[in-house]
Amino acid sequence: MAQQPRLIEDHIRKNKRDTVVICMLMVILLFSVIFAIGYILGAPPILTMMLALPVALFYIFITYSFSIQSVISAAGARPVNPQNREEKLLSYKVEEMALAAGLPTPKVYVQDSRDINAFATGHKPADAVICATTGALQQLNSEELEGVIGHEMSHIRNRDILVMTVTVGVVGAIALIAEIALRMMFFSGGQSNNRKGGGNIIVLVIAIIFIILAPIFSRLTYLAISRKREYLADADGAYLTRNPEGLAKALEKIKGDVPDDPKGSKTVAPLYISNPFKRALRDSLWSTHPPLDERIRRLRSM
């Protein structure tokens, strides 16, 4: 445990570097998708290039600026009600974990859903938000709820929330733009581009393939970092609570919880401690989180 603060500081520095790299990759992917669409539609390459980069940068900026409000709105979350006993306990647990982590107390929100879940969002600890479902408040005991809040507080302390929040928005944008482009090509019958010559046809085919693959590339970029951060948040959360068993028991309940009341948008699903929409895929290649059984095993080996 003595090495834990140093490891956390090292991880925070690494996360800051990762954030810059990932944002650059997302800008490149977004720029490339916009450029490919322009080429397919027959726009001059120079003009498309001059427009694509500012549009990509502007979208990243907008996503960053409004990401917190967008996540809260997409999740259908509301501020905690201090008159409610269960929600008041949630506020106390968030304050307790913030004190243990040496951070400002995040804003506390609640999502009205019977499912057991929680997430954190924000740019930095000063504007962070922690949200838990009413199902978590009703079905988790004090020890288990503390474990879940410790996990989310670790995401805040490790600066995971910035890259997770912004990347979710950009990945969704790339998928949406690519889908719109493919629909435009389908309905236009491929007549929007009148270029002749074998070389242009090859470039056109490459552009179409890239539009199809871009959402997959962006998703894999996010997956490459998300799973490792979940393991670390589990470990750091156990360090904050001094009780790995609390989070392990909570994950067991989440594993046994059949998601029958998912709320909000699927775009923010990767932010949750477990995907509320497709838990059947949570242990698959495309899952943003590592297998729950492995997470539980690691916690209990601490």
Per-residue pLDDT of the chain (302 residues; tens, 9 = 90+): 445 566 666 766 776 677 677 777 777 777 877 777 777 777 777 877 788 778 777 877 887 788 888 889 989 999 999 899 999 999 999 999 999 999 999 999 999 999 999 999 998 899 999 999 999 999 999 999 999 999 999 999 888 887 777 777 777 777 777 777 777 666 655 545 455 444 457 666 766 776 777 767 666 766 666 777 888 889 889 989 999 999 999 999 998 887 676 777 777 877 888 878 765 444 455 566 788 899 999 999 98
Give CA–CA dist 214/53, Å, rounded: 16
Closest by CA to 168, choosing from 294, 264, 51, is 264
Question: Alpha carbon of 3 to those of 6, 9, 10, 72, 295: distances in Å?
Answer: 6, 10, 11, 35, 21
Q: Are 68 and 129 in contact (CB under 8 A)?
A: yes
Residue 37 in tokens: 């669409």
pTM of the complete model beyond 0.75: yes
Phi and psi based region of residue 122 (left: phi greater than 0; alpha: psi -120 to 50; beta: remaining): left
89: Cα within 13 Å, side-chain hemisphere: 13
Catalytic residue among 87, 144, 146, 152: 152
Which residues, listed in sequence order, are joined to residue 131 by a DSSP beta bridge? 109, 119
Is 152 tagged catalytic? yes
Give CA–CA dist 13/281, Å, rounded: 31
Closest by CA to 135, choosing from 241, 273, 257, 279, is 257
What contacts 158, CB < 8 A, 6 or more positions away?
8, 11, 12, 15, 229, 232, 233, 236
Question: Phi/psi of residue 241, each to 5°?
Answer: -85, -15
**DSSP state letter for 268:** G
